[in-house]
């Protein structure tokens, strides 16, 4: 055991020495310390810096929220869409939803709702468990812009999680798009949208095209007539990491010199070279060349 420990210690010392010899790259950026965020006990719980929109009690964070039914900790669509009173731009959004236990209708008529980012860009909510519809209209699609990368739907009545990362579009002063919007979506732990570039607001009738809008907007939950359930809705506003460049990137430390080979290695290399030369000489091609040369010599 003591011998094993000694070997481990020597290996660590050797590694540290190796790093010390190599040059280290430094970015030249002075980064601010990232803010401390206390996560929930499980990943579905709101972290300490989250804005909680619905925790199962009421929909007071939403305009028109009093029209929906809140029952057993879940919000159920009724009487029109609801929109957050507060407006948001780029965000990490967590939503849990369940398709109605009682299966009614088919295609777009079965368990339909939606999450509209900035009130404009719909991440589709639909009962896509053994339910055929157009692919850019199934659960996890950006409605009529892209199909999701997979169908990770749980059975009707079971809870699904959507974890969305949304980068809001940025417009120039003249209204042109400077940076389009992007959506990443993880459904029940499965990646459905991988930084998808939005083509504009989602529409049932119009081809998508951007129309300039404010830097923030509401999150809207769609009323489509189906008793889809929602619960545990929270978000984190995204802020970029902050740093300022103090210099161009640079290396520090001494450049590692190639180590001279040990005598044993030099001898081994020489042996190998010798063996290779002999093998080449014995090869049929070399033999043939030799014979040809001999014949030629004789002929002369
Ligand atoms: Mg919908």
C-alpha angle 153/42/100, rounded to 5°?
Answer: 30
Domain positions in the chain are: 51-238
The CATH class, in words, for 51-238 is mainly beta
> Using CA atoms, how far apart are residues 27 and 187, in angstroms rounded to an integer?
35
Residues having C-beta closer than 5 Å to ion ligand 1: 112, 114, 222
**Residue 165 vs residues 89, 90, 96, 108: alpha-carbon distances, Å:** 11, 8, 15, 25
Ligand 1 centroid–CA 267 distance in Å is 74
Ligand 1 centroid–CA 125 distance in Å is 6
Contact 137, 147 (CB under 8 A): no
Ligand 1 centroid–CA 111 distance in Å is 9
What is the chain's pLDDT, residue by residue, as a tens digit (300 residues)?
A: 455 554 445 444 444 444 456 899 999 999 999 999 999 999 999 999 999 999 999 999 999 999 999 999 999 999 999 999 999 999 999 999 999 999 999 999 999 999 999 999 999 999 999 999 999 999 999 999 999 999 999 999 999 999 999 999 999 999 999 999 999 999 999 999 999 999 999 999 999 999 999 999 999 999 999 999 999 999 999 999 999 999 999 999 877 666 666 667 767 777 887 787 676 665 555 455 544 444 343 333
Ligand 1 centroid–CA 50 distance in Å is 26
* pLDDT at residue number 245: 97
Helices 263-282 and 284-299 pack at an angle, to 10 degrees, of 60
């Amino acid at each position: 055991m003591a011998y094993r420990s000694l070997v481990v210690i020597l290996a660590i010392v050797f590694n540290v020495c190796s790093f010390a010899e190599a040059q280290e790259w430094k970015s030249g950026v002075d980064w601010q310390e990232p803010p401390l965020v206390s996560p929930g006990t499980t990943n579905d719980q709101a972290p300490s810096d989250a804005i909680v929109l619905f925790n199962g009690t009421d929909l007071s964070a939403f305009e028109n929220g009093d029209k929906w039914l809140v029952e057993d900790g879940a919000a159920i669509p009724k009487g029109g869409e609801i929109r957050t009173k507060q407006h948001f731009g780029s965000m990490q959004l967590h939503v849990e939803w369940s398709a109605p236990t009682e299966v009614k209708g088919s295609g777009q008529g079965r368990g339909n709702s939606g999450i509209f980012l900035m009130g404009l860009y719909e991440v589709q909510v639909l009962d896509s468990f053994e339910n055929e519809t157009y692919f850019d209209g199934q659960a996890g699609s950006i409605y009529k812009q892209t199909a999701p990368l997979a169908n990770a739907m749980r059975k009707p009545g079971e809870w699904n999680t959507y974890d969305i990362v949304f980068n809001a579009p940025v417009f120039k002063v003249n209204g042109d798009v400077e940076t389009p919007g992007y959506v990443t979506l993880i459904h029940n732990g499965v990646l459905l949208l991988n930084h998808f570039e939005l083509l504009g607001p989602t529409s049932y009738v119009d081809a998508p095209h951007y129309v300039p809008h404010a830097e923030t907007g509401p999150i809207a939950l769609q009323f489509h007539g189906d008793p889809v359930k929602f619960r545990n809705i929270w978000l984190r506003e995204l802020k970029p990491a902050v740093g300022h460049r103090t210099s161009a990137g640079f290396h520090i430390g001494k450049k590692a010199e190639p180590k001279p080979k040990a005598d044993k290695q030099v001898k081994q290399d020489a042996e190998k070279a010798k063996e290779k030369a002999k093998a080449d000489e014995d090869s049929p091609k070399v033999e043939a060349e030799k014979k040809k040369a001999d014949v030629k010599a004789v002929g002369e």
